[in-house]
A and B are shown apart, each in its own frame.
Chain A
């Protein structure tokens, strides 16, 4: 924990929050609905994305994908492809180093099995990589793919995770004892013989004893599907060698630094000779928390010594990128008649697909991030992630939590109904409270239970209160009983983290220019969520200048400070924390010079709107004057500082989702007509961006609830690889939405902020399922809730 910034207070968290709020005082930039720093290029269509980056003499790469779900490559012959005019290189598994690695964009050592190779003799899903081609044009590269001759030995394939874990099922991976982390917890496959990529168990309290006290035991099994990020800018990157034999990789990524490290390992090329640049990114949602196309372009660039560009087609995005883990989740809980939750258990079986990237952490998060929403005497959580011969599942916004919350919040609703309690009342009675310890993080230390995580801020009560009020939860409601169109109301609650506890590092360096402007060079990756704007606001506020004085730069691994990247809702809290530290250090440097010039103690001075204030009031010095003094005057120096932030904590944002549905009982079609979304994010650094995060997450969650699903044929091939049959929500599918922000100060976060980006993805699916039960008295435990499932549940199909 970084003590310079952190002020844990006296131990009384409420006092600490008040003290912190007083200390911040009134903010001038933070809390404002500032325009995005990148608004102009975005609305003018400026070529600022990786997709638009070009180099002279650039070649274009394409990938040959396996048509088979499971096969060995018996023979591969690229001679005809190489003979095609315009083809510069073809790489097969025979041409690249065989380095076991994980593609997960996680800190080293990755908590994912090292089961992947850039190219392998064996292919493990329909879409797996067989060969790479670089040619003068995309069309020639495409044509060359057809000329690569491959003979496959077809192997038995397995698609069902439950079957995959049985004795005698076709085995996808052997443990590779040569990889650097073999034998350590990280890097290993949990049980390769049973296709178990990862396994986790978390228990707290005496489960059997707690269940014995229960008046009612409720069980249920829930299923969630494969879904795609459907990110609008596909994965794309350009790799080239500069004149100094350094490999420059311009990529649409969420994790520039992790990618640099992994590229170095896979290509066996020194880190010092790799530079990863992230321009604007056209959306990520976790699909780019992954090294994907970078080694393809890089290997071809090293081979051809020409710049190489590769971009996934929309078809490839839907077949050979990454997906959200489908899961089967079994819930079992015991409650007292009065509605006291006693014990709660969850067993989730995730489908890892062909490789285990993020499998451990995602399936772990399903319970780890969700069960702590409720107080109970005992908890039990178990997760397994099974390999199958289907496309690779990885990180996706919410990171296992949307799966967990669909199960948990459906299950809680079922419990409340069985007890005859209002589901909102049941939640009020049982949900986590400020000051509670996280039961998923308990350790027995010297005979006493201790948790690494305490919920110091919790605005959930306000979320429920304000949400219920705005939604009209207590108001009379016409369900349309007996009519073909029926209406219902449902709700759900959720939480998440702000970064991964102990596994984060982020921040920025800041330097002062002559005109009083500041370059903020951050490693945090803006992927559309607006972190460049948020970080600029934090920097401006802490420096005492206006937003127009902040020049954002992100990310270039040669110049940005190290940052783990954008994932796990970390950017505002972690990188923002680092930016604030950097800004405070720079401000101190500015004031030291100003103090010397004005003969005044720096700690008695301040900067307001770029003007230096002494205790006597505004001076005639501005920040620009200090800059000139330091760059050309007597106090010659570059005013500059860096700030890092890391913590072994991860404060939880809280969320309440309310939804009203209309169900056509003849067609089974469900439409959400009204939604109220309430988020406790600690502090809205920029309320417009924060509500934008909520609205976008809710629309994604609504697609999860009703329509999104990647479907496979009997050979494991994707049947709906395009927007025409992978249905995301449109303007006409979205309900009237009200978004409310609750600010329960998180005093460990910059200006009281925790996170916003992921938690609103967790509520809509269970809220819709709960509303459908309210409307029709049927319980759908499987997503997406299609018209067919409704009619089946109604006994009409």
Chain B
């Protein structure tokens, strides 16, 4: 099969990837050692492969890598800066929101997209935002609490920045 070259930005870095026409974005990520985005259902029904494409949260399992050409992608690997956890990651760790952890990157990426638009969410809004993310371990109590806590932490961060 003829391969094709795509150019995109992944976690802030410009990359050129050679992909196959039938390769999903998720498969391309895995092929490039970005394994944090998990394959869980492969049919777009669990949001476990959530990533941020041009600012929107998407499922990497049900789009072609070729469709990401020219776009900007953020994955779970891109959230940590200089080894420092992002507040959402910090909140998930602190609240015990990750049990087996396999769904966790998908939850965190979805929360990331959501909190950018809703810095002061209610619990009901958080639940609605996470409605497509399947978790089999937590009953969602702690992931929802973690997103609410992350919102708080991120507000504090922003206020600190604005006071500087």
Contact = CB atoms under 8 A, between A and B. Distances in A.
Question: Are A and B direct contacts in the complex by CB distance below 8 Å?
Answer: yes
A46 interface: yes
Interface in A88-124: none
Nearest to A33: B96
A230 B139 contact: no
B67 to A, nearest CB: 19
B89 A232 contact: no
A766 interface: no
B102 A283 contact: yes
Contacts of B89: 43-44
A527 B100 contact: yes
B45 A232 contact: no
B37 to A, nearest CB: 7
Contacts of B104: 42-43, 45
Contacts, number: 167
Interface stretch (A143-151, A262-270, A731-739): A731-739
A530 B99 CA distance: 7
Interface stretch (A178-186, A514-522, A625-633, A688-696): A688-696
Contact of B137 (A45, A47, A49, A692): A692
Contact of B136 (A40, A49, A232, A281): A232
Interface in A725-775: 728-732, 734, 737, 739
Given A723-B41, A731-B140, A732-B127, A528 B101 contact: yes
Given A692-B96, A722-B45, A728 B101 contact: no
A280 interface: yes
A254 to B, nearest CB: 12
Interface string B73-97: 0011101100001000110111110
Contact of B134 (A232, A528, A692, A698): A232
A49 B143 CA distance: 21
Contacts of A530: 96, 99
B142 interface: yes
A646 B77 CA distance: 42
B48 to A, nearest CB: 7
Contact of B98 (A39, A698, A722, A734): A39
Contacts of B130: 730-731
A47 B43 contact: no
Given A44-B77, A723-B46, A730 B102 contact: no
Contacts of A688: 95-96, 142
Nearest to B146: A43
A529 B137 CA distance: 8
A359 B98 CA distance: 32
B131 A282 contact: no
A558 interface: no
Nearest to B128: A732
Contacts of A728: 134, 136
Nearest to A38: B101
A789 interface: no
Contacts of A38: 101
A528 B100 contact: yes
A51 B142 CA distance: 25
A44 B76 contact: yes
Contacts of A697: 139
Which residue, A38, A43, A285, A527, has most C-beta atoms of chain B within 10 A? A43
B85 A731 contact: no
Interface of A is mostly: loop
Given A44-B76, A695-B141, A731 B127 contact: yes
Contact of A281 (B37, B96, B100, B103): B100
- Mostly helix, strand, loop or mixed at chain B's interface? loop
Interface in B21-63: 35-43, 45-46, 48
Contacts of B126: 731
A465 interface: no
Interface string A624-667: 00000000000000000000000000000000000000000000
B36 A44 contact: yes
Contact of A43 (B37, B48, B98, B133): B98
Interface in A32-85: 33, 35-36, 38-47, 49, 51-52
Interface string B97-138: 011111111001000000000000000001110111111111
A306 B89 CA distance: 38
Interface in A350-409: none
A528 B46 contact: no
B48 A698 contact: no
B65 interface: no
Nearest to B90: A43
A525 B159 CA distance: 43
A43 B134 contact: no
A305 interface: no
A561 interface: no
A695 B93 CA distance: 17
B66 interface: no
Given A45-B35, A47-B35, A732-B131, A314 B42 contact: yes
A536 interface: no
Nearest to A42: B101
A797 interface: no
Contacts of A33: 96
A281 B137 CA distance: 12
B144 interface: yes
A304 interface: no
A239 to B, nearest CB: 20
Nearest to A723: B45
Interface of A: 33, 35-36, 38-47, 49, 51-52, 229-234, 280-285, 313-314, 527-530, 688-689, 691-692, 694-700, 722-724, 728-732, 734, 737, 739
9 contacts: A41-B101, A43-B85, A46-B36, A283-B100, A692-B142, A695-B141, A723-B43, A731-B130, A739-B141
Interface of B: 35-43, 45-46, 48, 75-77, 79-80, 85, 89-90, 92-96, 98-105, 108, 126-128, 130-144
Given A282-B38, A731-B127, 6 more contacts: A51-B38, A232-B100, A314-B41, A730-B133, A732-B128, A732-B131
**CB-CB nearest 9 A-B residue pairs:** A45-B36, A528-B100, A42-B101, A282-B102, A695-B139, A699-B139, A45-B76, A39-B93, A723-B45
